[in-house]
Chains A and B, each alone.
Chain A
Amino acid sequence: MKVDLRINGAVRSAEVEPRKTLLDALRENFLLCGTHAGCEHGVCGACTVLIDGEPVRSCLMFAVQADGYEITTIEGLAPAPGELSVIQDAFCETHGLQCGYCTSGMILAADALLRQTLSPTREEIAEAISGNICRCTGYGQIIEAVQFAADRLRKANTPRPHHGVHAAQAEHDAPVEGVLEAAEADEPVAEAK
């Protein structure tokens, strides 16, 4: 079936099987390979994307369920080719990664946290990234990266743009109680397309 997905601010269309996960659709249909498959059962967080600004496991969501939401992948964070966002740059500064495989999800989880608060405690950062497993770093330099990014964003004194062109409107649509439930509720609409 056909889906029209708003990904990183642009509407992208594809024919997908109803059973195809958002993860597979992002990678195979839209060639956004920065989103990675880790466990494919919702534990490791490597496939994390933002749905209306909230971290979601794209391996547990069908592509058709994502219709109508603002999807942000790691490719949507860099302001321009070759230019890093503050959070991405902070991960480089503290070496908050090694093999890079969990990094996309980790940075998106951090991005979501830092849209809620720019003064997170260490515990809040640990909580925010606790759904993302990293086997390389032991999390120390990841937490430092988030602290460093928060500090820079606090001091930047500039407005921080929302992801994507529909973000402002998407905020009104954002489900209150978790994206998955909301996505399920939305399924008939998606199928009707």
Chain B
Amino acid sequence: MTADPAAFRFVSTNRRVREDRRFVAGHGQYVADVALEGMLHVAVLSSPHPAARIVSIDASAALAMPGVHYVLTGDELAAATDPLMNGLDTPLVQRHPLAVGQVRYAGEWVAAVVADNRALAEDAVENVDVRYEPLPFVISAEEALKPDSPPVHSAHGSNVLLDRTFVWGEVDKHFAESSRQLSFRVTWGRSSTVPIETFGVAASWDPWREMLDVWASIQMPKYPDQIARALRIPANGVRVHQDVDVGGSYGVKRGIKQTVLVAHLARRLGRPVRLIEDRLENMGGGDAHGPDRIFDVEVAFNDDGIVKSMKMRALDNAGAYAGRAPFQLGKPIGAIVGPYRIESVQYRAQSVTTNKAVQEAVRGFGQAPTNYAIETAIDKVAASLGLDRIEVRRRNFIRKEQFPYLIPSGSTYDSGDYHTVVDKVLAHIDFAALEKERDRLRGEGLLAGIGIAACLEPSGGNSAFEPLLNEKNTTTTWMDSCRINIDGLGFVTVTIHTTSSGQGHETLVATVIGEVLQIEPDLIRVVRPDSLACLPSNTPVGSRMAIMLGGAAFHAAQKLKTKLTRIGAHQFGLGEDKVIYAAGAVTDPRGGKQLGWAEIVNIAHRNYHLLPEGMEPGLESTHVMQVPTGERLPKDGRVQMYPCHSFEFHVVLMAIDPELGKPEIRRYVIGHDCGTVINPHIVKGMTLGGIAHGLGAALLEEFVYNGEGQLITQSFMDYLLPSAHEVPEVEIVHHCTPSPFTVFGQKGSGESGYLGAPAAISAAVNDCVASLGISFNKLPIRISAIGDAIAEAQQPKPQEHAT
């Protein structure tokens, strides 16, 4: 297949996103819309303590209330189910859906109350009497590292989940050789994607069929497997209904603990049961917080600003249980040098338990924080040399002709043309005019500055960080799949094997299959069977679906196209290479004969005697796609992480009124190269949404724990989400460098914008306040922090008066 956009009929064209129709009419089917006969409702009781022994739980008063059916405790649930899976080999860090014997963070779920409706369940929660004996706790990651810190899991022996140092290349030599070095610390505050729909799950158990039916707001690879394991039932006794619309996820809707809890209750009570988290349950105990990370970075560079080597230590606060969070330190290894030719890297990845809520996968899986650290380093290198920040980036960029480019940590970048993207962005902006505008704003008494960030979006989503960080894990595939059926009347139905949370996968596969078969995509039906009828899939994680689901759909369609062609050729008595397939018809170019779509379909479905010998009747094909390039286990701490690498370049003009401290983005331009775009609307939405999300992480959003270990930002009054007031108009400058590893040259875009926006916005704030001699090294940079720092910087210094 060619990657030339002009050669496409449907790919890269501005077609509508087919999913939108049902949503604008209010006819999405979300988990809260699933009504099951006789369904009961769950509310949970949360721990008020960051760490405490559970002395007793008395549910009698709650159970005595009308409409209350059951109160489930951690002890009962732990006896009936297996602990939830850990990503790392940390068997003594055990995690159950409800606390067992001990609570480990304020907000942790302690008991679940089941009642006729949610309001009654909430009432009854108030009447469950739990006695606690408070224990010492630890909130800060640095404290948790200390040997004498209170262990979150005493059986594990310490709070350290992971402490691994990788050295890729001759780091010591490069540092010794370099004329200049600098070091700094930046901190990425704990935020998350916080979808507007909380997590929800409904389950029912049929004892006569031994079948668990699950409807969930889910985005979790291998979800049915994990439920089955925890519940100790066969995996073919778990039927997950994939036709549930998910109201946003961006990584976090992993929901295993919620599902195990609800599924156990459904079995125990013989009634369908559902839990739809309310906002407090979601924020405090839904286990959906994101990375919470301290970076200590050292770089070695020369007088021209060429960065030769980097040492990075990333200390991540995983919260109270392990889960998959530590892997978020692993994925960025696949782009640990960003878009730069840094020759060697030392990377120390540390993950510790603390008495905070559990971390879950967040958009980018650790890449956005890492990009923030790398981009801060490049800005500091430029500043230390008095060089232009864009020029320093240009000097360090991998050049177009160097691709495919092997980075020190073992990943090969597929393709890119970073210099051209930067040139296009600067030309679009008229950068000299932007600087003039900045100076004009400064002239008006505002603090004004420009932020720059360049970064990569690794995409294609294999799971190579798993074996890299856990040698017992031997995962080398992270497949996705597609099935196509052309029925006896010639209509095309496609199955995809995952839920979606707004990514437009139905549009994606219809576009791809329409392209290959040269038929109108709008005529293609796309459905999601339940998990028992599904082919292997790993859900939309790791910016993978354009590559992986798009790839699977492409290959399945190619198989069908070949079959259609063979059937046609056989009728003409020709070899399949002697006929032409076009727009669903097969033509003998010499004899001038043609067989149309309906005729070929009819033969396949009804005329076995006309099929080539040995051909199966019907028109059905499947494809299970392996992630391109990700075939091997890690070796010597090196591995090929994701196959594709999208590029983005952000330029932000910001102004801050020194009296208010409020950062205002006056202009936001992003250059974006994700290879061949399959649907421009979808890619644009991902990029704009990613930038808004990044703006939140940079300026507004943080899960803050106070000195008592309490989460003090657990409503939208305190955890601030960007509104249309905060998010600026964004201009996108497109570029297309096709990937050589994918069917159309496409790369991923599901994390675009988010991976560079926090770095760019932080840089803009720091450029605004640089004239005051201050800078911010922790995200989010909230208005209050800016205002206070400016006020302090503007105070006359007493010493100066004394001299």
Q: Does A188 contact B (CB under 8 A)?
A: no
Given A19, A94, A101, which contacts B119 in the complex, CB threshold below 8 Å?
A19
Contact B250 A135 (CB under 8 A): yes
Interface residue ranges of B486-513 to A (CB < 8 Å): 501-504
Cα(A98)–Cα(B684), bound, Å: 11
* A75 CB–B CB distance under 8 Å: yes
A164 to B364, alpha carbons, bound, how many Å? 46
Question: Are A75 and B26 in contact, CB atoms less than 8 angstroms apart?
Answer: yes
- Determine whether the beta carbon of B279 is less than 8 Å from that of A88: no
CA distance A43 to B504 in the complex (A): 27
Residue of A nearest to B22 (CB): A100
Instruction: Mark interface residues in A25-39 (1 if CB within 8 Å of B CB, else 0).
Output: 001000011111111
Smallest CB separation, A58 vs chain B (Å): 13
The reply to whether A94 and B681 contact each other, CB–CB distance below 8 Å, is yes
Chain A, residues 112-144, CB within 8 Å of chain B (1/0): the string is: 000000000010011101111111111111110
B247, B249, B692: the one within 8 Å of A100 (CB)? B247
Count: A-B pairs, CB below 8 Å: 181
Which of A60-68, A102-110, A165-173, A179-187 is found at the contact surface with chain B? Answer: A102-110
Residues of B within 8 A of A103 (CB): 23-24, 26
Which of B32, B247, B684, B717 contacts A99, CB < 8 Å? B247
**B360 CB within 8 Å of chain A:** no
If A99-B245, A102-B196, A139-B724 touch, does A33 touch B26 (CB 8 Å cutoff)? yes
| Contact between chains at A141 and B684 (CB < 8 Å) | yes
A34 to B688, CA, bound (A): 25
Considering only residues 1-56 of chain B, those with a C-beta below 8 Å from chain A are 16-17, 19-28, 30, 32-33
A93 within 8 A of B: yes
Cross-chain contact A126 with B688 (CB below 8 angstroms): no
Is the beta-carbon distance between A138 and B19 smaller than 8 angstroms?
A: no
CA A107 – CA B28 in complex, angstroms?
A: 14
Looking at chain B's contact residues, the main secondary structure is: loop
Q: By the criterion CB–CB under 8 Å, are B21 and A101 in contact?
A: no
A135-B503 in contact (CB<8A): no
Question: CB distance B685 to A98 under 8 Å?
Answer: yes
Q: Does B725 contact A (CB under 8 A)?
A: yes
| Known contacts A40-B278, A122-B729, A98 near B715 by CB under 8 Å | no
Contact A99/B724 with A43-B717, A92-B16, A141-B688 known, Cβ cut-off 8 Å: no
Task: Confirm or deny: B93 has a beta carbon within 8 angstroms of a beta carbon on chain A.
Answer: no
Q: How far is the CA of A54 from the CA of B22 in the complex (A)?
A: 24
Is B24 within 8 A of A138, CB to CB? Answer: no
List chain B residues, Cβ under 8 A from A50: none
Does B715 lie within 8 Å of A43, measured CB to CB?
yes
CB distance from B760 to the nearest CB of A (A): 14
User: How far is B193's CA from A61's CA once the two chains are assembled, in angstroms?
Assistant: 28
Q: CB-CB < 8 A to B334: which residues of A?
A: none
Q: How far is the CB of A88 from chain B (nearest CB, A)?
A: 4
A56, CB-defined interface residue at 8 Å: no
Q: A97 an interface residue at 8 Å Cβ cutoff?
A: yes
| Interfacial chain A residues near B16, Cβ < 8 Å | 92-93, 95
Q: Residues 232-270 of chain B: 1 if any A CB is under 8 Å from the residue's CB, otherwise 0? A: 000000000000011111100000000000000000000
The residues of B that contact A88 with a CB separation of less than 8 Å are 24-25
Chain B residues whose CB sits within 8 angstroms of the CB of A27 once the complex forms: 32
B32: chain A residues at CB < 8 Å are: 27, 33, 36-37
Of the candidates B193, B194, B197, the one whose C-beta lies within 8 Å of that of A101 is B197
* 0 or 1 for each of B731-754: is its CB under 8 Å from A? (1 = yes): 000000000000000000000010
Q: Is the CB of A74 closer than 8 A to any CB of chain B?
A: yes
Residues in B neighbouring A38, C-beta threshold 8 A:
196-197, 279
Among A73, A75, A104, the one with the most B-chain Cβ atoms within 10 Å of its Cβ is: A104
Q: How far is B685's CA from A142's CA once the two chains are assembled, in angstroms?
A: 10
Complex Cα gap A104–B245 (Å): 14
Q: How far apart are A42's CB and chain B's nearest CB, in angstroms?
A: 9
Q: Which residue from chain A places its CB closest to the CB of B731 in the assembled complex?
A: A140
Q: In the bound complex, do residue B25 and residue A84 qualify as a contact, i.e. CB atoms below 8 Å apart?
A: yes
Once bound together, how far apart are the Cα atoms of A135 and B159, in whole Å? Answer: 34
B687 to chain A, nearest CB (A): 8
Say whether B195 contacts A135, CB under 8 Å. Answer: yes
A34, B23: Cα distance in complex, Å? 8
Residues of A within 8 A of B28 (CB): 34, 100-101
CB-CB contacts below 8 Å: B124-175 with A: none
Q: What is the CA–CA distance of A89 and B25 in the complex, to the nearest angstrom?
A: 9
Asked if A46 is at the interface (CB within 8 A of a chain B CB), the reply is yes
A91 in the interface, Cβ–Cβ < 8 Å?
yes
Report which of B24, B27, B247, B715 forms a contact with A41, defined as CB distance below 8 A.
B715
Q: A135 CA to B696 CA in the complex, in Å?
A: 10
Q: Is the interface of A mostly helix, strand, loop or mixed?
A: loop
Are B247 and A129 neighbours in the complex by a CB distance under 8 Å? Answer: no
**Quick one: which of B679-704 are within 8 Å of A by CB?**
681-682, 684-686, 688-693
> Of B119, B503, B692, which one neighbours A139 at CB under 8 angstroms?
B692
Nearest residue, chain A, Cβ from B725: A130
| A14 in the interface (beta carbon within 8 A) | no
**Within the assembled complex, what's the spacing in Å between the Cα atoms of A92 and B15?**
10
Within 8 A of B (CB), among A145-180: none
**Chain B residues whose CB sits within 8 angstroms of the CB of A140 once the complex forms:** 684-685, 688, 727, 729-730
Q: Is the beta-carbon distance between B502 and A130 smaller than 8 angstroms?
A: no
Residue-wise, chain B 180-214 has the 8 Å CB interface mask toward A (1 for contact) of 00000000000001111100000000000000000
Cβ of A17 under 8 Å from chain B: yes
- Min Cβ gap B186→A in Å is 24
Q: For B732, give the chain A residue with the smallest CB separation.
A: A140
Q: Which of A44, A75, A130, A137 is the one whose CB lies under 8 Å from B685?
A: A137
* A133-B700 Cα distance, complex, nearest whole Å: 14
Q: Which residue of A lies closest to B721 (CB)?
A: A133
Query: Does A10 make an interface contact (CB < 8 A)?
Result: no
In the complex, B716 has a CB within 8 A of chain A = yes
Complex Cα–Cα for A140 and B732 (A): 11
A95: which B residues are within 8 A, CB to CB? 16-17, 20, 681-682, 684-685
Bound form: Cα–Cα A38–B30 in Å = 12
Pair B279/A99 contact, Cβ less than 8 Å = no
CB-CB contacts below 8 Å: B94-142 with A: 119
Closest to B754 in A: A138
Assess whether B691 is in contact with A91, with CB atoms less than 8 Å apart: no
**A78: CB under 8 A from chain B?**
yes
CB-CB < 8 A to A92: which residues of B? 16-17, 20-21, 24
Whole-angstrom distance between the alpha carbons of A74 and B30 in the complex? 15
Instruction: Decide: B690 and A138 in contact? CB cutoff 8 A.
Output: yes
**B723 sits at the interface (CB 8 A):** yes
User: Which residues of the other chain, A, contact B246 by a CB distance below 8 angstroms?
Assistant: 99
Among A17, A44, A77, A127, max chain B CB count under 10 A is at A44
Closest CB in chain B relative to A136 CB, distance in Å: 5
The interface residues of chain B lying within 8 Å CB-to-CB of A84 are 21, 24-25
What is B's interface to A at a CB cutoff of 8 Å?
Answer: 16-17, 19-28, 30, 32-33, 119, 193-197, 245-250, 276, 278-279, 501-504, 681-682, 684-686, 688-693, 715-717, 721-725, 727, 729-730, 753
Contacts A/B (CB < 8 Å), 20 sampled = A20-B119, A33-B30, A34-B28, A36-B32, A36-B196, A36-B197, A38-B196, A43-B715, A84-B25, A95-B685, A98-B503, A99-B502, A101-B28, A126-B724, A135-B692, A136-B685, A138-B688, A139-B692, A140-B684, A140-B688
**Smallest CB-CB A-B distances: 3 pairs:** A34-B26, A100-B23, A98-B502
